[in-house]
Amino acid sequence: MKICADCFNDEEIKNYILSNGNLGRCDVCSIETTVLELDELSDFFSDLLNIFKTKIDSNYSICDYIQKDWSLFSSKKMAEKIIDECISTFGNSIDKYHVEYIDIISNYVSIWKKMKFDLQYKSRFFINLNSYNPNDPYLQNCINVENVLTTLSSGTILYRARILPDKVSYYKKENLGCPPPETVNNGRANPIGIPYLYLCNDVETTFYEVRARYKDRVTVGEFLIKRDLKIVSLTSLSSLYLSSHSGDFIADVKHKLLLNDIAKDMSKPLSRYDTELDYVPTQFICELCKINGADGISFKSSLNENGINYVLFDANDINVAECKKVRNITIEHVEIRQ
C-alpha cells in the first residue's frame, strides 16, 4: 500500500514521507503526490498495534483510541484503511473493533484516577507519590520540569478579559489583574486564597473563558510577559512516531497518556455543578509544578478549539507579567458550533 502525507496529522510522519517518498498515487486518498510504501513504516505500526489487546466488551476500536488520544491520522476514514492494511500485512490477530490498551499501560494511567480520589477524600496535603507505583517514579518523572518544560518568551503578549457589569463603564489596567488573596475563590488551578494569573493566547479565547454572551460589554487587558518564564506545557499532542524511536516506546506511551489525562482535567470548564473537591487534584498538579521550579502551566482551552490557557503562579509580580493597556469590546456576534 502506498500512503501520503495527507493521510496523517502527525507532523513527524508527514515530514518523513515527504523527505523519503516518490511521486505516485496514494492508495488511501487516491491523489497524485509524494507517496511512500507502508512497509517502510512497518516497525512503527507493529509497535503501535502491540500496545493494544482484544477486549470483547470494549466499545472502542483501535482507530477510536488512536484518533482520540493521538490524532495520528487526518481522519478516521484514513485511519481505518491504513490500520486494516497493517493488521493484514503484519499478521496481528487483534479484534480491531473491541480493544483496550495492554495492562502495563492501562494500569499505569488508571493510577491518576486513584490519586484523584485519594486527594479528594483521604489525604489532602501530604501524599506519597511513590506509593502508587513503587517501580516507577510516576508523577515525578512525568511532570518533570526538564521533560515537559517550554519557554514563554519575554515580550510575549497574552490576554485576560472581564465582563463589565451594567453600572460599570470601564475597567482600568489594575482591575484586570488578580483580586486580593482574601477574595480569591477556588479555581481549576489555584486553591482558595492563593491568586494565580489566568491568561489566554488570543482575545477570542478570553471571550469563551469568561462565557461572554451577545451584547455583553467586555474589557480585555493585554499583558506583557516581562521575562522568560518556565512553563509546564500540556498543550501539544506528542508524536507517536518519535516515541517509537525513543528506545522505550511503552514508557513513552504511558507517560504521554498520563499527561493527556491531566491536561483534560485541567482544561475542563468551570461548571455550576462543580464542588470545591473537584478542583483539588488539578490544584495539586500546579503545586507540584511550582515546587519543581516552574513559573506556570499551559493547557488547551476546552471552549475554543485553537485557544491556549496559561496560569502564572506569581500572579502579582509585575516583573513577570504586566497589564499594559485595556480596551472595551461589545460582543456583536456569537457563533454556535456543533
CB-based contacts of 86-92 (< 8 A; 24+ apart in sequence): 86/38, 86/45, 86/46, 86/48, 86/49, 87/49, 89/1, 89/38, 89/39, 89/42, 90/42, 90/45, 90/46, 90/49, 92/46, 92/49, 92/50
Helix orientation angle between 249-267 and 103-121, rounded to the nearest 10 degrees: 40
Which amino acid, residue 85?
A: E
Residue 110 within a domain: no
Final residue before a domain boundary, out of 78, 100, 122: 100
Specify whether 93 is located in the same domain as 156: no
Specify whether 166 is located in the same domain as 311: yes
CA atoms in the 13 A half-sphere facing the CB of 322: 7
Q: Per-residue pLDDT tens for 130-165?
A: 666 656 655 555 555 555 678 999 999 999 999 998
pLDDT for 268 equals 80
Helix orientation angle between 280-291 and 249-267, rounded to the nearest 10 degrees: 120
CA distance 201 to 113: 30
Specify whether 276 is located in the same domain as 162: yes
Cα separations in angstroms, 8 against 11, 12, 14, 266, 292: 8, 9, 6, 27, 36
Final residue before a domain boundary, out of 43, 66, 100: 100
Residue 333 neighbours by CB distance under 10 Å: 5
Q: Per-residue pLDDT tens for 273-288?
A: 677 888 899 998 898 8
Specify whether 218 is located in the same domain as 315: yes
Residue 122 within a domain: no
Specify whether 8 is located in the same domain as 61: yes
- Banded pLDDT at 319 (limits 50, 70, 90): confident
Residue 190 within a domain: yes
Give yes or no for a contact between 32 and 107, defined as CB atoms under 8 angstroms apart.
no
pLDDT for 107 equals 87
CA distance 318 to 147: 28
Q: Per-residue pLDDT tens for 223-260?
A: 999 999 999 988 766 788 888 877 788 888 888 888 88
CA distance 32 to 310: 42
| C-alpha cell read off for 23 | 511521486
Residue 151 within a domain: yes
Provide the residue range defining the domain that includes 83.
2-100
The pTM assigned to this predicted structure is 0.82
Residue 279 neighbours by CB distance under 10 Å: 22
State how many domains the chain has: 2
Antiparallel, parallel or unpaired: β 217-225 and 229-234: unpaired
Specify whether 86 is located in the same domain as 170: no
